[in-house]
Amino acid sequence: MKLVGIVGSIADQSYNRMLLRFMSTQYRNMADIEILDISDVPMFNQSNDQSDSPAIQYLNHKILAADGVIIATPEHNHTIPAALKSVIEWLSYNLHPFTDKPVMIVGASYFIQGSSRAQLNLRQILESPGVNAITLPGNEFLLANAKEAFDESGMLKDDRTASFLGSTLQKFVEFVGVIGHLNGRADNPGASEDLYATGNCDTTVKDVDMRDPQWLEKAAEKTNAVSGDAYVKLDRGLLTVNQIDRFLKTMPVELTFADENNQFIYYGDQGHDPKDMLASRTPDQVGDPLYYVHPERALKGVATVINNLRNGKTDLFVLPVPGNGPTKHLMHYYKAMHDEDGVYRGINEWVVDLWPIVASYLKQTGKKLVDDPNAKVAATTGASSSAPVEPDPDASTGASEEEEAPTAPTTDASTGASEETEAPMADATTKASDADIFVAEVDETSGASEA
């Protein structure tokens, strides 16, 4: 679940920012909380409409894309800070990103009342018709005496306070689910995926343009990345960077890595011409946000698949890509990666041609393939069809192993069937590249033979 946390204070040093930071790290198993600052937002002024300014548009998009919003408000003069009120005014004037958006209010204050009046007031503001948010009822979280509440590493000192906060957040997460259902967001789980990768994760390299063709070189310099004969300790083994490269380049699959921020940061360059790859990638694409390496029509499907992997709805998404002739059977696999704490950390994609394996099996065993008259294989294996392939791994792989057949994000199976423009899947006439979730042909024409 994707939440944004708005820091209601523009002070350089803010306990409300600390509170949100604590929540985003401590409860990252519960929700992915991205923290938004409001420092760059000008004072609301009806006579000088700046709804289109980058600072306001940024907040607008982030809120629109989020499943829910947490606002951490200080208390100034018994109410919310003018800066926060100004943001809400901008976002209730020509733009209305809060409409029907679930919102949770928390607050830290220096004093015993712990921002209670500000919170009450904020609730009233959020429910006014121009804002129209849906605030989580009850469940106030007031952090009083904020100065004494955190230790040096930004953790809440008092366990009871922390666990109360955790249970409040848990309720909010459930609330977001319920409201999301009412709002019909459940039908479009990809809506909250930011394919532009405008946020960042802890491995994102800052201040290097993701779209720069030289992103790799620049980001490597910025991070003082090791290369060549430097040793890297792995679980388990010790290899030099050169050894890792050789190792990955000789994998019998094409590998791609997208991080949890939806940035494409690696592919195994085996030295082939991009056109000869099972799924084409070019060196300059490395570093690009996923948005830019897919044709427009694939984006919705891509977002849905990523979101299902991110939220654990599926751990492995398998996409057969037929239509490459009788001696090729391409498969795309998308596997969610997680860290030790179980937090989603991106996608491992591998593309493989299964035909050599099948051929070798047939040769070894002296068997041959015959059509099963009872099979309900989609008519898509015929190379002439231009209908999109339903992402139904069972049908086209014929695999019977249940565990290899994850519940595919069938959202597209139902809606995508008629709108072939949106599914992340191949149509039979294109090469694998169009089907690819990460890096499709940027050059639309090469793949668009059905147009």
Partner 1 sequence: MNKYIAIVGSNADKSTNRQLLQYMKQHFAPVAEIELMEIKDLPVYAKNADRKTPEQALEMAKKIDAAAGVIIATPEYDHSVTAALLNALSWLSYSVHPFVDKPVMIVGASYGALGSSRAQGHLRQVLDSPELKARVMPSSDFLLSHSLTAFDDTGNLIDADNTKLLDGLFQDFEKFVEITKQLNGTLSQDKVNATNVSWQDKK
Contacts to ligand FMN by CB under 6 A: 9, 11, 14-16, 46, 74-78, 89, 92-93, 108-111, 113, 115, 128, 130, 146
Give least dist CB 168 to ligand FMN, A. Answer: 18
Burial (CB count within 10 angstroms: exposed 0-12, middle 13-18, buried 19+), residue 64: middle
16 binds, among partner 1, ligand FMN, none (CB under 5 to 8 A by kind): ligand FMN
Give least dist CB 26 to ligand FMN, A. Answer: 18
Q: Which is nearer to ligand FMN, 100 or 212 (CB)?
A: 100
Give least dist CB 16 to ligand FMN, A. Answer: 3
**Beta bridge partner(s), residue 7:** 72
Q: Which is nearer to partner 1, 13 or 384 (CB)?
A: 13
Give least dist CB 128 to partner 1, A. Answer: 4
Whether 113 and 78 have beta carbons less than 8 Å apart is answered as: no
User: What backbone torsions phi and psi does residue 365 show, to the nearest 5 degrees?
Assistant: -100, -10
Q: Which is nearer to partner 1, 47 or 418 (CB)?
A: 47
Radius of gyration for the chain, computed over Cα atoms and rounded to the nearest angstrom? 25
Give least dist CB 109 to ligand FMN, A. Answer: 4
Interface contacts to partner 1, rule CB under 8 A: 10-11, 13, 41-47, 76-83, 85-86, 88-89, 92, 110-111, 117, 121, 124-125, 127-128, 130-131
Q: How many CB atoms lie within 10 A of CB 227?
A: 10
Give least dist CB 189 to ligand FMN, A. Answer: 32
Block residue for tokens 């290097």: 208
Q: Which is nearer to ligand FMN, 6 or 31 (CB)?
A: 6
85 binds, among ligand FMN, partner 1, none (CB under 5 to 8 A by kind): partner 1
Question: 172 vs 185, 325, 373, 437, CA distance in Å?
Answer: 16, 51, 52, 32
Q: Which is nearer to ligand FMN, 93 or 355 (CB)?
A: 93
Whether 173 and 180 have beta carbons less than 8 Å apart is answered as: no
Give least dist CB 42 to ligand FMN, A. Answer: 14
312 binds, among partner 1, ligand FMN, none (CB under 5 to 8 A by kind): none
The residue nearest ligand FMN at its CB is: 74
Measured distance between the N- and C-terminal CA atoms of the chain, rounded to whole angstroms: 36
Block residue for tokens 């366990």: 159
Q: Which is nearer to partner 1, 149 or 195 (CB)?
A: 149
> Using omega within 30 degrees of 0 as the cis cutoff, is the peptide bond preceding 211 cis?
no
Pairing of strands 32-36, 2-7: parallel
User: What backbone torsions phi and psi does residue 301 show, to the nearest 5 degrees?
Assistant: -65, -40
426: its two tokens: 């191949």
